Amino acid sequence: MVLQLKQLGALVLGLCLAFTASADITVTDSRGEQTFESVPERVVALNWSMAENLVELGVDPVGVADVPGYRRWVVQPQLPDSVVNVGKRSEPNMERIASLDPDVILLSTDQSGLADKMSRVAPVLFFDAFRKDHSNAEQAKTIFLELGRLFQREERARHQLAMLEARFIWLRGRLRDHFGEDLPAVVSVGFASPTVVRVFGTNGMPWYVLRQLGMESAMPQPASQWGQTQKEVADLNELGRDDALLYFRPTVLAGDLLEKPLWNALPVVEAGRVAPVEPAWVYGGAMSLRYLAENMTDALLTIEP
């Protein structure tokens, strides 16, 4: 009997150890494999695309950098009211972050220099999401799946990515119903100043979305890290009167450009082939592709065939 009890005890101990070992979670960020003993519960995101990914996965971050900026430029998905603003994305408040007692801190492109500093507070995951040598949109999907694995929401992440592809198909149908088989060539821009626009080209999130919607660029641009090329507003004169021009809100950096002759004399504007796009983060995560697609489609549907 004693021997049987010892054997039973050894078996139980072995099962417990096996369960503990299997509870470890391994994910891959831009620095390699990172292992967590359990699912992180308190998460700080110092990048807006990382914050967006968390909310889409059903994880409420305890802290996000530049919350007012997120609510102005990213908008969707909405951050919970409980989230704490932890300072600037480039210069976060380390004391405030430490006070939140995070289990993990998420960083992304242009924030690698913060990794060592933040690792003194909590484990850090760094995802280099935007690079010239990969597809930014496809990398966003990969990151979304890695975070799904970390928070044990991988099935949810895969479902949302599948729904994203279905959404593209449905929106493409709406555009064909509106314009017919001959869809217009489109250029999408953001404003850098009252005289300079960022034209989204190859590797840009808006460019990727337009391709999924079955459209071609009216002003092709080469691949770059962020998928954009700076151009003078006057360069938009090369757009034809049958093309379409989309510009992203908010337009605070444009100043009063939209009331100026420089803008209104553009042939594409004179032809009424221009429309604003409601805010969606053009440097976002995987689900930003959905918001961009929906908002860009809504804008295009205001343009007469």
DSSP alpha helix (H) spans, 70-153: 94-99, 115-118, 136-150
Reported as a pLDDT band with limits 50, 70 and 90, residue 5 is very low
Res 54 pLDDT > 80: yes
Reported as a pLDDT band with limits 50, 70 and 90, residue 2 is very low
Residue 247: strand pairing partners = 189, 276
Q: What is the mean pLDDT of residues 205-224?
A: 96
Nearest Cα to 73, choosing from 248, 247, 228, 246?
Answer: 248
Q: Name the 3-class secondary structure at 127.
A: strand
Reported as a pLDDT band with limits 50, 70 and 90, residue 17 is very low
pLDDT value of residue 217: 95
Give the Cα-Cα-Cα angle 118, 145, 280 (nearest 5 degrees): 80
Res 298 pLDDT > 60: yes
Reported as a pLDDT band with limits 50, 70 and 90, residue 131 is very high
- Indicate the helix (H) or strand (E) that contains 112: none
pLDDT value of residue 4: 54
Q: Give the start-to-end residue ranges of the domains of the chain.
A: 24-128, 157-300
pLDDT value of residue 20: 44
Reported as a pLDDT band with limits 50, 70 and 90, residue 99 is very high
Q: Which tens digit of pLDDT belongs to each residue from 231-252?
A: 999 999 999 999 999 999 999 9
Tell me the HSE value of 193 on the side-chain side, using a 13 A CA sphere. Answer: 6
Same fold, 24-128 and 157-300: yes
Q: Kindly report the CATH number that applies to the domain delimited by 24-128.
A: 3.40.50.1980
Count of Cβ atoms closer than 10 Å to residue 230 Cβ? 12
Contact 63, 83 (CB under 8 A): yes
pLDDT value of residue 7: 54
pLDDT value of residue 3: 42
Q: In this structure, which topology does domain 157-300 adopt according to CATH?
A: Rossmann fold (3.40.50)
Q: What is the mean pLDDT of residues 178-191?
A: 96
pLDDT value of residue 11: 52
Question: What is the chain's mean pLDDT, rounded?
Answer: 93
